[in-house]
Structure 1
Amino acid sequence: MNRGRAWHLATALVATGAVLFQLVLVWQGNAVLDDVEPPGLAERLIRFIGYFTILSNILVAWVTWTLGLGRGHRGTGWRTLRLTSLVAITVTGIVHWFLLRPLLDLEGADYLADKLLHVAVPLLAVIGWVAFGPRGRVQGRDVLASLVFPITWLAYTLVRGAVTGFYPYPFLDADTQGHAAVSIVSLGIAVLFVALAALAWKGDERLARTR
């Protein structure tokens, strides 16, 4: 097994383990971000799968498993999924570091799960993409296609939040922050997502020529 496949397998194992670890904690009723008093199990599980952090880690796990196991990864769908996972997990790390980390006060298992999901997996995914590729897998049209996931997630989150009063992240809480503030933050994150996707596109081209 070459180093690239080994790295991707390690990333897949960490991402999968981190998601499952956090799922166990959610099942047990531990704190998740701003869930000071967790609700019932069914609602906890619904909220769990609605976190952008969890979904981005699942995407990374799926893609890196295919890379680590040497499965086919040349189709348009796979390319879009690869780019989406890369940008989503990068946004996860950036948003956590600058917007969420100062608000958190976690200990023990909760702290470990938080760092695995928000720091370890983003670093492993980005380093793996830069160091091992595969190269030549990003095209211009993939940048637009990669926006489907975050736009769909944001629409679902805001609609569900308006209905239930629960928002997975404080900066999206329209009831507390106001719709104008939430709109500005959402636009900022959208711009970040597009910029990172475009950077990955051009970076992939440059790295492909270099290699």
Structure 2
Amino acid sequence: MKVRAVFGLIRLGMATLCAVALVHRLAWGLSSHTIAGENFFAYLTVQSNCAFAVLLLIAGIVAFRRDRDPRWLTIALALTLTWTITCGIAFALIVWQAGLRGIRIDVPWSDQLLHFWLPGLAVAGWTLAPGHLRVPWWVVPVAPIYPLLWGLGAMWRGPQVGWYPYYFLDLRQVELPEFLVSATVALALFALVGTAIVLISRTQLRFDPLRFRLGRREHLQR
């Protein structure tokens, strides 16, 4: 089996895992009464993982048909990977802070998969998978735009439904200076993760089957 086909299967498997985890997280939240169904898709983690699952499905199919991913797919994967990884880091910080304050936060396996395992596997795949193009540097300043728009939308929706995805978006719970600092740090973190993704896309760690075939052909001709 070709190397690209193997990574195509991995991508399809990750897309399936992501979809299963999203369904389980919704069912767990409804059964434990920790979330209302209409608020589930308001989380940035859920939105970014939905996009990630769709892109992984497309990328898996593309890997079976082409030696290289199209440019738009590489950029889209870089952006969604930036969002999912950053959400995982933020979630870990929230759980850590809650533990320090003695606040219990239940973390089902689906949350662990969505926030930690899938982003980690995606980074490994991003580093090693053949057929990626280099991600352009303009992705770094673009990556925080969607989270910024999401945050503004959550703050606009919050007073209407009486619910916020995260407490630091509710200006009734945090002072304006604390909110501004939190927002700045969060956006900077998205840019930092985006920078790491761009740098990884420019490494020479991945196995490129096209270059391997060309190099082997040149070697046999000598």
In the superposition, the TM-score normalised over structure 2's length comes to 0.77
Counterpart of 1:205 in structure 2: which amino acid? R
Separation in 2, partners of 1:90, 1:69? 23
CA RMSD in angstroms comes to: 2.5
SS at the partner of 2:165? coil
Q: 2:23 aligns with which of 20, 28, 33?
A: 20
The match for 2:179 is: 182
Residue among 116, 121, 125 paired with 1:124? 121
Name the CA shift for 1:175/1:45 in 2 (closer, same or farther; >3 Å): same
Structure 2: distance between partners of 1:55 and 1:168: 12
CA deviation after TM superposition for structure 1 residue 101, in Å: 4.8
Give 1:89 deviation, angstroms: 0.9
Amino acid paired to 2:44: F
Pick from 2, 9, 14 the counterpart of residue 12 of structure 2. Answer: 9
Match of 1:41 in 2: none
Post-superposition offset of 1:57: 1.2
Which of the two has higher C-alpha Rg?
2
Partner of 2:213: none
Unaligned runs of 5+ in 2: 99-103, 209-222
Quick one: distance in 2 between partners of 1:85 and 1:172?
22
Structure 1, 170-179 or 50-59: larger mean CA deviation: 170-179
Amino acid at match of 1:21: H
Task: Tell me the percent identity.
Answer: 21
- Change in CA separation of 1:130 and 1:136 when aligned onto 2, cut-off 3 Å: same
Pairs within 5 Å for 1:70-109: 70=62, 73-76=69-72, 78-103=73-98, 104-106=104-106
2:202 is aligned, of 190, 201, 205, to: 205
Contact kept in structure 2, 1:138 and 1:201, CA below 8 Å? yes
TM-score, normalized by length of structure 1?
0.80
- In the TM superposition, residue 172 of structure 1 has moved relative to its aligned partner by 2.6
Q: Work out the CA distance in 2 between the residues paired with 1:3 and 1:25.
A: 33
Q: How many residues align?
A: 196
Name the CA distance, whole Å, in 2 between partners of 1:162 and 1:137: 42
Residue in 2 that maps onto 1:159: 156
State whether residues 129 and 207 of structure 2, in contact with CA within 8 Å, keep that contact through their aligned partners in structure 1: no
